[in-house]
Amino acid sequence: MLRLDFFQVLLYTPHSTLFTSPMGVIKQVSPVLLFIAAFAPTAAALDWTRRRTETAFGPIELESEPFRFDKFTDYYAASMGCVLVKQLWGFRQPIDPATLPDIKRLTNDWEREYAANDFGPVARPLNLDPGYVTLAKLILASTKDHAHRIYLRDGIFAETTLMYTKKRWAVLPWTYPDYQSPEYHEFLSRCREYLKALG
């Protein structure tokens, strides 16, 4: 019986048939939709943030109605108060996803600036969570490392908070409670459709 060892097979097998999967080609990344979630104990803080974001990133194209964030969690009660209002924004001009660390650092600066000039009763009068939407996922930036986060640069990490699959948003084990809600998914679907229409 004829027997060929593995190296003989490699020697006599044409490369064109042995290696049928070519190496992946590096491509230019597609622009993404800038997303910012802002919450605060006062409407004035959200108005201030809106002006700052539109000056920096251009007009807001999509926005949710303001809603009570504290119904989802009391995690921020000690630092921000018990009644918190949140709003979601999607911006008109797509961005390069590589700029997310710069955006997160800028929004952190805004938080510190607003806190330094706010004389209210809470220690943290504003919280900003930037990220971006693609056709396949929602990414959020963070300054905190965790098992499900990857390091970008300049002290900033990123996580996939939601995936879009089978025509719906799918939660992950670490998805925050509010991001699991239908209201968020409806808004993010609007963002996704807007980005898709841009081509």
So what's the pLDDT on residue 135?
A: 98
Q: How far apart are CA 42 and CA 23, in angstroms?
A: 53
Query: What's the maximum distance between 2 C-alpha atoms anywhere in the chain?
Result: 89
Return the DSSP state at 179: G
Question: Is 51 part of any domain?
Answer: yes
Question: Is 2 part of any domain?
Answer: no
Domain boundaries, position 77: 34-198
pLDDT tens for 88-108 read 999 999 999 999 999 999 999
Task: Return the CA Rg of the chain.
Answer: 22
Question: Is 41 part of any domain?
Answer: yes
pLDDT band at 5 (very low <50, low <70, confident <90, very high): low
Question: Is 75 part of any domain?
Answer: yes
Number of domains in the chain: 1
Q: What CATH number has the domain bearing residue 55?
A: 3.30.70
Closest to 153 measured CA to CA, from 95, 100, 96, 94: 100
Phi-psi group of 58: left, alpha or beta (phi > 0 → left; psi -120 to 50 → alpha; rest → beta): left
User: Is it the case that residue 10 has pLDDT exceeding 50?
Assistant: no
- Tokens 């049928």 belong to 20
pLDDT tens for 13-40 read 454 444 556 788 999 999 999 999 999 9
Question: Is 76 part of any domain?
Answer: yes
So what's the pLDDT on residue 20?
A: 58
pLDDT band at 1 (very low <50, low <70, confident <90, very high): very low
Contact of 71 with 6, CB cutoff 8 Å: no
Question: Is 177 part of any domain?
Answer: yes
Q: What is the reported pTM? A: 0.87
Q: What does each C-alpha distance from 90 to 57, 103, 136 come to in angstroms?
A: 10, 14, 16
Question: Is 22 part of any domain?
Answer: no
Question: Is 17 part of any domain?
Answer: no
Mean pLDDT of the chain: 91
